[in-house]
Structure 1
Amino acid sequence: MTITVDKRIYSDSVISKAVYWLSDDFSIVRHLIDDSLEEITATALPDVAETEFETRLIQSLNDFKLRQIVADETRDIKTILYAKAFAENEDLSEEDIHD
């Protein structure tokens, strides 16, 4: 089964994570069509229905995309919390922490 994924929607990192999580059940080959499209071809390993691939890939892509969004949106908060946790100066404020 072959599926085309739009890289403008799903980053390479998201695609890589989704493919990795499916690699126990499918043999997967990735092929870049152009800068914005990637073709993913999968062959089911024994005891796995090949028809599951599209559904599981889409679920994985959406899951990892959401995880990436949450990580991006909470990065600054995590940085502030880490800095405050390990800072010797108890008067540390958000203005003291810069990317």
Structure 2
Amino acid sequence: MTITVDKRIYSDSVISKAVYWLSGDFSIARRLIDGIAEEIIATSLGDVAESEFESRLMQALNDFKLRQIVADETRDIKTILYAKAFAEDEDLSEEDIHD
């Protein structure tokens, strides 16, 4: 089964995580078509039907993309919390963390 993924929607990191997540059930090859698309070719390794690959891939792509969005949106909050947790100065402010 071959599926084309738009790299403007899903980053290489997201595609890599999704492919890895499915690699236990499928043998997967990736081929860059152009700057905006990637072809993913999958072959079932066992009892899993190849027809399941597309739905499982799309679910994994959307899951990892959402995780990336949440990580990006909470990065500054995590940085502040880490800085406050490990700082000896209790008066540490956000301005002290960000140049």
TM-score calculated relative to the size of structure 2: 0.98
Opposite residue 20 of structure 1, the aligned amino acid is: Y
Alignment gaps of 5+ in structure 2: none
Q: Which position in structure 2 is the counterpart of 1:44?
A: 44
User: Structure 1 segments of 4 or more deviating over 2 A?
Assistant: none
The one-letter code of the counterpart of 2:58 is: I
In the TM superposition, what is the alpha-carbon distance from 1:95 to its structure 2 partner? Answer: 1.2
Deviation at 1:46, TM superposition (A): 1.5
Provide the C-alpha distance between the structure 2 equivalents of 1:85 and 1:46, rounded to a whole number of angstroms.
Answer: 48
SS of the counterpart of 2:40? strand
Give the match for residue 74 of structure 2: 74
Computed over aligned residues only, the root mean square deviation of the Cα atoms, in angstroms, reads 0.8
Secondary structure, aligned partner of 2:67: helix
Work out whether 1:97 is the aligned partner of 2:89. Answer: no
SS of the counterpart of 2:34? coil
Q: Which amino acid aligns with 2:20?
A: Y
Count of aligned residue pairs for this structure pair:
99
Q: In percent, how many aligned pairs have the same letter?
A: 86
Partner Cα separation in structure 2 for residue 46 and residue 26 of structure 1: 8
- Displacement, 1:48? 1.0
